[in-house]
Structures are given as C-alpha cells and as structure tokens.
Amino acid sequence: QLHLQESGPGLVKPSDTLSLTCTVSGGSIRSSNYYWGWIRQPPGKGLEWIGSKIGSSYYGANTFYNPSLKSRATMSLDTSRNQFSLTLTSVTAADTAVYYCVRTYGDYMVDCWGQGTLLTVSS
Amino acid sequence: QSVLTQPPSVSAAPGQTITISCSGSTSNIGVSYVSWYQQVPGTAPKLLIYDNSKRPSGIPARFSGSKSGTSATLGITGLQTGDEANYYCATWDTSMSPGWVFGGGTKLTVL
C-alpha cells in the first residue's frame, strides 16, 4: 500500500525559504501515470493546490504550479531516494498551513495523501 | 475566494439524505472529471468520489456523485454521525494556467 510521509522544519522565519520533502513507500515515483504534488491548508480554511510534477522524465519536466504563488514554488523529484520536494521562497505569514504531499492520477483524482505537516511562518 | 463554489454548511438528522453542490465553469467542471474528498477535522482528506461518480474500494454505496454541465453534486444517503466532516469538490482547470482547483468546502453536521 502506498504511503506518503512529509518532513519539514515546522517553523520558518518571514522572508526565508521553505523546503519540504515527501518520502514515498510502497510504490515508485517513477511513473508516467502519476503526478506527485503538494496541497496546503491554512488553519481553519480550505484546500489550495500548490503544484504537481510527473513521475517519469520520459515526458520531460512536465510540471504545473499554482499561478497565485507567483513563481515562488519549485518542485523536484529524487528517484534514487523515492522522494520529491517543494521549495517555497520569500515566505510570509500567509504561507502558514498544513502541507500535504499527494499523488494524483493524471487529472482524474488525488488518490493518495500524506498525513500532513504543519508549517508556521513566524519571527 | 475558491474557483469552485460550494455551500459553506449543510445539516441533517441521522438517516436522512443530503446533497452538496459544486459549481464551476466551462474551463474546469465543464470539461474535466470531478472528484470529492472527505476530511474529518485533524486528519488528511480522503478520496470519496472520482471520475464524477465512481467510488474507490471501501467507500460505501451511500455516497454518490453526479455531474451536469458545469456543476457537480455529492449525495449521501442514510446519514450517520460518522459522516460529520468537511467535504471538498475538486477538478482540473484547463485555463491559461492549468491546475487543480478546489471548492471552499462544505461542513456537514449530523444533528
């Protein structure tokens, strides 16, 4: 059974760069059928998609980002470690949220979620 | 402001039936599959419905989904106290910047 586990610093200062990693077990991220991505949820609010990246390099660097993040987000895959990562630059208090790493099956569904990790932006 | 529009809340008694609407546009629901997610507070969302109306293994038949034009609907029959949660619709938006879009969520209260 596929399992996704997020890891991150928990607390970052305003204007810093946030880095989160998702470790995947029970399946390979090298797949042309699946995208690997991030969704966040500010406290008490709804879900916001951050970005998705295809698992197979055969299709090139097929990556999509939420335009509302204004190019602050970058995703990468480490197939040797079966991990993928998110980097978010110039963070502000508005980036405080629970961050979920997810697997999506094409554009059909988000079929697997990590348990989520809380990131707080505060000085 | 979410791209997809859901009612903020819905409530009903155990055993009753409810529906939750999700309204979008021709660039998202109108051309893409809709999925629904259940989120019990403090936990990660869980896939409930995909491809507009299909249920993953383990999801009871009490949960159903449908789509018509640029709107979708989640239905729950025989409400149970364990169904109390937040429900989100989602779909792929095919606009200039394609990506996943979500509804704002609907809080279901089972009275």
Mean pLDDT computed over A57-78:
84
- Per the prediction, chain B carries an average pLDDT of 96
pLDDT at residue A61, rounded to an integer: 59
Tokens representing B96?
């200039």
Burial degree of A97 (CB within 10 A; 0-12, 13-18, 19+): buried
Question: How far apart, in whole angstroms, are the C-alpha atoms of residue B29 and residue A122?
Answer: 37
Residues in B touching A115 (Cβ below 8 Å): 43-44
Q: Mean pLDDT over all residues of chain A?
A: 92
Q: Which residues on chain B are in Cβ contact (under 8 Å) with A3?
A: none
Q: State which amino acid sits at residue B105.
A: G
- Per-residue pLDDT, B106: 98
Instruction: Say what the pLDDT of residue A32 is.
Output: 76
Q: What is the pLDDT of residue B96?
A: 84
In this prediction, residue A93 carries a pLDDT of 97
Residue B67 is predicted with a pLDDT of 98
What are the beta bridge partners of residue B19?
B75
How many Å apart are CA B65 and CA B26, to the nearest integer?
19
B53-89: per-residue pLDDT in tens?
A: 999 999 999 999 999 999 999 999 999 999 999 999 9
Chain A nearest C-alpha distance from B93 (Å):
9
Task: Give A40-61 pLDDT, tens digit per residue.
Answer: 999 999 999 999 998 766 555 5
pLDDT at B24: 97
* Integer Cα distance of B42 and B40 in angstroms: 6
Region B35-43: mean pLDDT is 96
Q: Report the pLDDT averaged over residues A90-103.
A: 97
Residues in chain B closer than 8 A to A100 (CB atoms): 44-45
Contact A110 B90 (CB under 8 A): yes
What integer pLDDT is reported at residue B12 of this predicted model?
97
Residue B14 pLDDT: 97
pLDDT band at A26 (very low <50, low <70, confident <90, very high): very high
What is the structure's pLDDT at B92?
95
Distance from CA of A78 to the nearest CA of B (A): 22
* Percent of chain B whose pLDDT exceeds 70: 100
Nearest Cα residue to A56 out of A34, A26, A82, A23: A34
Of the candidates A102, A121, A100, the residue with the CA atom closest to the CA atom of residue A15 = A121
CB atoms A111 and B98 under 8 Å:
no
Contacts of residue A109, defined as CB under 8 A and 6 or more positions apart, other chains included, come to B33, B35, B47, B50, B51
Q: Whole-angstrom Cα distance, residue A100 to residue A51? A: 11
- Which residue of chain A is at minimal alpha-carbon distance from B89? A47
End-to-end CA distance of chain B: 28
Phi, psi angle pair for A107, to nearest 5°: -110, 30
Higher local confidence (pLDDT), B36 or A53: B36
> Percent of chain A at pLDDT above 70?
95
Nearest CA to CA, how far is B38 from chain A (Å)?
12
Nearest by Cα to B91 from B18, B7, B30:
B30
User: Could you give the CA distance from residue A118 to residue A10 in angstroms, rounded to a whole number?
Assistant: 6
Q: How far is CA A92 from CA A5, A9, A47, A72, B75, in A?
A: 24, 15, 18, 11, 38
**Closest among B1, B58, B64 to B34, alpha carbons compared:** B64
CB-based contact B89:B28 (threshold 8 Å): no
Residues of A with CB under 8 A from a CB of B: 37, 39, 46-49, 51-52, 64-67, 100, 104, 107-111, 113-116
Are A110 and B33 a contacting pair at CB < 8 A? no
Chosen for mutation from B100, B101, B106 (greatest number of chain A CBs closer than 10 Å) is B100
Chain B nearest CA to A17, separation (Å): 23
Q: What percent of chain B has pLDDT over 90?
A: 95
Token code pair at residue A116: 């989520």
Nearest CB neighbour to B45, from listed A51, A104, A113: A113
Tell me the average pLDDT across A23-45. 93
Do A111 and A104 meet the contact criterion of CB atoms below 8 Å apart? yes
